[in-house]
Amino acid sequence: MEFEFRSTLPATVDTVWAALENIETVALCIPGVVRVAREEEDRYAGALRIKVGPIALELGGLVTVELLDAATRTLRFLGEAKDRRVPGQIKSRATLIVTEHADGSELYLHSDTHILGKLGEFGQPVVRKKTEQVLREFTENLGRQLTGDDTAA
């Protein structure tokens, strides 16, 4: 399943890029993330609690940063996660690019996500809707973090 998402953020490109470079902090802007920790220079372990349709999941896994290019303000990573109770796996390769925008900056995300096993049986419409909701909430949380308004997070 492929996703494309664009969102404007109320901060300069340099400010947004600096936030994205701090993987451990920016990951906490993702709704449902309960922990994230650096294991190696470019690998992070973490967990995400999320409800998809009627099923509550706790996905544990690894994120490997494949590209962190300040010149083009591009971040590419591979995420792999499993729930220990529900058979299946999620693999997602995502690219985030920060560009200038009249209102500050624009964050563009493209991901190619594969949901295997029992997890993949939810159906694309349910998964797509949940993914879009998570991406919207992520950019709202990131925007609040960048402006220092974390009261509504």
pLDDT given at position 88: 84
pLDDT given at position 96: 96
Counts for the chain of helices (H) and strands (E), in that order: 3, 7
pLDDT given at position 151: 52
pLDDT given at position 153: 45
- What is the radius of gyration, based on Cα positions, of the chain? 15
Chain centre distance of CA 89: 16
Nearest to 1 by CA among 139, 138, 125: 125
What separation in angstroms does the CA of 89 have from each of 84, 143, 150? 10, 30, 32
Give pLDDT < 70 ranges for the chain.
Answer: 122, 150-153
CB of 106 closer than 8 Å to CB of 6: yes
SS3 track for 4-45: EEEEEECCCHHHHHHHHHCHHHHHCCCCCEEEEEEEECCEEE
pLDDT given at position 84: 86
pLDDT given at position 87: 86
Alpha-carbon distance of 58 to 134, in angstroms, equals: 15
pLDDT given at position 52: 81
pLDDT given at position 150: 61
Alpha-carbon distance of 150 to 153, in angstroms, equals: 5
